[in-house]
């Protein structure tokens, strides 16, 4: 294992003012997104859409440090025959790959899931490295509801994250570890804080036991936020304050950066929260974004599957990438957002 090499890639993934584009939607997820804009989810349409994003030169070169790909996408070629991985590299971004097999119902634990995909992972990582991937992602899903999460589900999911991370580093691939505490419920922000703290502390114990080199890893957590179905949901400043507080309590300073998931937040909400956290200052790690829908909803709608809308889709993508870049620097404002969108 080349620890210095892993640390160099991890550092580049959280470079100042840059974040990660999560373009790793499964076939089922992207079908839902395409259905919403009236586009048939064929392999060609999926390729054309992602090619549009990767050829957005301004967004990719200035604001996007890396792209998480799906298995299909990392093997695809652009219309002109150029591998999509090469388009990403040519823009100065780093190709990455989603390697988990999804969250499945956990036997004996009603309402909870376990992420699968460890079987054969070593061999798949070696293949993905040859295809150009230099980092990977594995998502664990922790739900909040009556009686859950349970210790058994938390322990099983973070143990799997640690095993995945160790296998990644063995293959010279930087692991993004993603323990997502969902915001789907009616819980308040304090309940989210409690569960997030529990999950993160357990995660870093497991990563230590698995001998994962933290300097060559990235954390992709949820923000500490009220459930979407809750009343009196916490405001931007409270979300920022409590998220930074839990990270300082749980995440070692050896971790080079934390790239948040948007987790169902609106575009502007995710940007505002990231900006408020970076304005707190005096943080031991970089705080940036690893957004999927919060970066892609606007360009998907602008594109709508039509070749004549490619430029409009790229403008929409560049706008959202720039806004989140500013947030990663603590320089975003709501007024600036409105002016830039005008």
pLDDT digits (tens, 9 = 90+) for 267-316: 899 999 999 999 998 999 999 999 998 999 999 999 999 999 999 999 99
In the predicted structure, residue 336 carries a pLDDT above the cut 90: no
Distances from the Cα of 37 to the Cα of 141, 207, 291, 298, 309, angstroms: 27, 41, 20, 11, 13
What's the rounded mean pLDDT across residues 230-236? 88
Distances from the Cα of 167 to the Cα of 1, 124, 137, 175, 220, angstroms: 11, 10, 12, 9, 18
pLDDT in tens, 237-260: 999 999 999 999 999 999 999 999
Label residues 201-223 b or e (16+ Cβ within 10 Å = b).
ebbbebbeebebbbbbbbbbbbb
Q: What percent of the chain is modeled with pLDDT above 90? A: 90
* Secondary structure of the chain in HEC code, one letter for each residue: CCHHHHHHHHHHHCCCCCEEEEECCCHHHHHHHHHHCCCCCCHHHHHHHHHHHHCCHHHHHHHEEEEEECHHHHCCECCCCCEHHHHHHHCCCEEEEECCCCEEECCCCCCCEEECCCCCHHHHHHHHHHHCCCEEEEEEEECCECCECCHHHHHHHHHHHHHHHHHHHHCCCEEEEEEEECCCCCCCHHHHHHHHHHHHHHHHHHHHHCCCCHHHCEECCCCCCCCCCCCCCCCHHHHHHHHHHHHHHHCCCCCCEEEECCCCCCHHHHHHHHHHHHHHCCCCCEEEEEECHHHHHHHHHHHCCCHHHHHHHHHHHHHHHHHHHHHHCCCCCHHHHHHHHC
Structure confidence at residue 341 (pLDDT): 67
What's the rounded mean pLDDT across residues 40-54? 96
Structure confidence at residue 338 (pLDDT): 75
The more confident residue out of 282 and 10 is: 10
Residue 305: Cβ within 10 Å count: 17
Residues 307, 301: Cα–Cα separation, whole Å: 13
Residue 204 in contact with residue 252, Cβ under 8 Å?
Answer: yes
In the predicted structure, residue 210 carries a pLDDT above the cut 90: yes
In the predicted structure, residue 69 carries a pLDDT above the cut 70: yes
In the predicted structure, residue 165 carries a pLDDT above the cut 70: yes
Structure confidence at residue 266 (pLDDT): 87
In the block, tokens 């959280």 appear at 14
Structure confidence at residue 339 (pLDDT): 76
Residue 161 in contact with residue 179, Cβ under 8 Å?
Answer: yes
CATH code, domain carrying 177? 3.20.20.70
Tokens in use for 267? 């575009």
In the predicted structure, residue 167 carries a pLDDT above the cut 90: yes
In the predicted structure, residue 125 carries a pLDDT above the cut 70: yes
Give the pairing of strands 19-23 and 103-105.
unpaired
Structure confidence at residue 186 (pLDDT): 81
Tokens in use for 102? 């999804």
Instruction: Name the nearest CA neighbour of 296 among 55, 25, 94.
Output: 25
Write down the mean pLDDT value for the chain: 95
What's the rounded mean pLDDT across residues 30-50? 95
In the predicted structure, residue 340 carries a pLDDT above the cut 80: no
Residues 128, 71: Cα–Cα separation, whole Å: 9
Domain count, the chain: 1
Structure confidence at residue 54 (pLDDT): 98
Question: For residue 297, what are the domain limits?
Answer: 3-341
Q: What percent of the chain is modeled with pLDDT above 70? A: 99
What's the rounded mean pLDDT across residues 21-26? 95
Structure confidence at residue 142 (pLDDT): 97
Active site residues: 178, 220
The band of 231, judged by pLDDT with boundaries at 50, 70 and 90, is: confident
Structure confidence at residue 342 (pLDDT): 61
């Amino acid at each position: 294992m080349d620890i210095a090499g892993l640390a160099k890639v991890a550092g580049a993934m959280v470079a100042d003012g840059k974040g990660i584009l999560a373009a790793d939607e499964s076939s089922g997820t992207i079908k839902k997104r395409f259905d919403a804009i009236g586009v048939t989810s064929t392999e060609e349409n999926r390729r054309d859409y992602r090619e549009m994003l990767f050829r957005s030169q301004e967004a990719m070169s200035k604001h996007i440090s890396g792209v998480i790909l799906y298995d299909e996408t990392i093997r695809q070629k652009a219309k002109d025959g150029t591998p999509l991985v090469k388009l990403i590299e040519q823009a100065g971004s780093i190709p990455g790959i989603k390697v988990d097999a999804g969250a499945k119902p956990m036997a004996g634990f009603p309402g909870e899931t376990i992420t699968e995909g460890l079987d054969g992972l070593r061999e798949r990582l070696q293949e993905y490295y040859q295809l150009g991937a230099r980092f990977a992602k594995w998502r664990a899903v922790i739900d909040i509801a009556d009686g859950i999460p349970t210790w058994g589900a938390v322990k099983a999911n973070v143990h799997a994250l640690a095993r995945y991370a160790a296998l990644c580093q063995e293959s010279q691939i930087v692991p993004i570890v993603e323990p997502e505490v969902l915001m789907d419920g009616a819980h308040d922000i304090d309940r989210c804080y409690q569960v997030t703290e529990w999950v993160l502390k357990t995660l870093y114990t497991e990563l230590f036991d698995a001998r994962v080199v933290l300097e060559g890893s990235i954390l992709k957590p949820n923000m500490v936020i009220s459930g979407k179905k809750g009343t009196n949901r916490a405001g931007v400043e409270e979300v920022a304050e409590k998220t930074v507080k839990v990270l300082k309590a749980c995440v070692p300073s050896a971790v080079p950066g934390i790239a948040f998931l948007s987790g169902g937040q609106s575009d502007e909400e995710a940007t505002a929260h990231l900006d408020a956290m970076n304005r707190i200052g005096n943080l031991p790690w970089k705080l940036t974004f690893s957004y999927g829908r919060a970066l892609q909803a606007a360009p998907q709608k602008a594109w709508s599957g039509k070749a004549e809308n490619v430029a409009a889709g790229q403008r929409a993508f560049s706008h959202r990438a720039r806004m989140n870049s500013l947030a990663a620097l603590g320089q975003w404002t709501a007024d600036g957002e409105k002016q830039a969108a005008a």
